[in-house]
Amino acid sequence: MEPVVRERTRVRTAAGDLDALIHYLPSAAPQPGLVLVDGSGDGTADGWGGATDLLVMCGAVVLTHDKPGCGDSPGDWRTQSLSDRAEESLAAAALLRSHAAVAGMECGLYGVSQGGWVAMIAAARDARIRFVISNSGPGVSPAFQDRFRILNDLQQDGQNETALTEAGRWLDDRADRLLSGQPLEDVLTRQETFRGRTWYEITTRYFDTVEMLGFLQRVLDFDPAVILPKVQCPVLALLGASDALVPVPESLAAFSSLLPPLPGNPHGLAVFPGAGHGLFTEAPGPAIDRASQLAPGFIPMVQSFIHKNTSAVLN
């Protein structure tokens, strides 16, 4: 197999110039561009493992980039909104369209987890995004998804019904306080009154500082009922039936009902049996090629979707 070229570049954004890599086969004819949109937490241009090569083999020129404050890039992703991240994705797509390996062909977005929300916002804003692939991206709001995730964690921890009810009540209250603009210090003070509850550590994990509550506040306003109807390009939404982080039936219902009908009915929805978050079928291991653990049929489906939608544009 011909080695994949990795060309370093920078994506100019409001947070500063982010370190980026463009991955492509040097001898291939021009290929459609595909910007990878990372999920929550830290993320770097070189942190995608074997996924970039798999997507290059699907017939795409792939761009990955640091999130602000990660790798060698300035800024701080914790101060961003989903809207900020969408603008970064659009800047990355503009850079990719100008690359010789793309040579004017169309570009799409590949969002993983939270990156699925980001990709939808970006596509709703810019008609030059010609397709979106969502890998384990929720079709529901951040508040709904986070509540689902945390209650699942509590159930796995063996918490009783009283604890689940109390935790759910606080999660709803916290979301309301944040969405209403209550000072973050006040929200944190109220949250800390529950310290000592059996559910406290799991329920407040990740969002136990003013900084992280501020990040949560900035992402909570995503509303799929507002954004998804504005996405005027084909969407392939892929979910794992065993995903403990994403409410699959509710997400399927949202994508099915909220994405606008397009000529030729190009949208695709699929649920992979036995697959968890990220569409992996097994837990990671140090000696295991993570790409080999992807759900069977996932890569051919992605390849077919990219080819179908870029061919339709060119013909």
Residues 178 and 33 in one domain: no
Average pLDDT over residues 15-35: 95
Residues 296 and 151 in one domain: no
State which of 189, 219, 249 marks the end of a domain. Answer: 219
Average pLDDT over residues 70-87: 97
Residues 248 and 263 in one domain: yes
Return the half-sphere exposure (C-beta side, CA atoms, 13 A cut-off) of residue 94: 13
Residues 136 and 175 in one domain: no
- Model pLDDT, residue 7: 97
Question: Distance between CA atoms of 277 and 44, rounded to whole angstroms?
Answer: 19
Residues 23 and 80 in one domain: yes
Mind listing the pLDDT tens digit for each residue in 224-263?
Answer: 999 999 999 999 999 999 999 999 999 999 999 999 999 9
Ranges 31-45, 201-215, 288-302: which has the least confidence: 288-302
Residues 131 and 156 in one domain: no
Mind listing the pLDDT tens digit for each residue in 154-187?
Answer: 999 999 999 999 999 999 999 999 999 999 999 9
Residues 203 and 59 in one domain: no
State which of 198, 219, 240 marks the end of a domain. Answer: 219
Residues 156 and 231 in one domain: no
- Model pLDDT, residue 289: 82
Instruction: Please provide residue 279's backbone torsions phi and psi, each rounded to the nearest 5 degrees.
Output: 70, 30
String of DSSP letters for the chain: -PPPEEEEEEEEETTEEEEEEEEE-TTSPP--EEEEE--SS---TT-STTHHHHHHHTT-EEEEEPPTTSTT--S-GGG--HHHHHHHHHHHHHHHHTSTTTTT--EEEEEETHHHHHHHHHHHH-TTEEEEEEES--SS-HHHHHHHHHHHHHHHTT--HHHHHHHHHHHHHHHHHHHTT--HHHHHHHHHTTTTSTTHHHHHTT--SHHHHHHHHHHTT--HHHHGGG--S-EEEEEETT-SSS-HHHHHHHHHHHSPP-TT---EEEEETT--GGGBSS---TTS-GGGGBPTTHHHHHHHHHHHHHHHHH-
Residues 188 and 287 in one domain: no
Q: What is the CA radius of gyration of the chain?
A: 20
Residues 160 and 298 in one domain: no
Element spanning 269, H or E: strand 268-272
- Check: CB of residue 277 under 8 Å from CB of residue 244: yes
Question: Distance between CA atoms of 295 and 110, rounded to whole angstroms?
Answer: 17
Domain containing residue 300: CATH number? 3.40.50.1820
Mind listing the pLDDT tens digit for each residue in 111-147?
Answer: 999 999 999 999 999 999 999 999 999 999 999 999 9
Residue 154, domain extent? 143-219
- Model pLDDT, residue 150: 98
pLDDT at 297 over 80: yes
- Check: CB of residue 233 under 8 Å from CB of residue 119: no
State which of 170, 200, 219 marks the end of a domain. Answer: 219
- Structurally, the chain folds into a number of domains equal to 2
Residues 207 and 97 in one domain: no
Residues 150 and 110 in one domain: no
The predicted model scores a pTM of 0.95
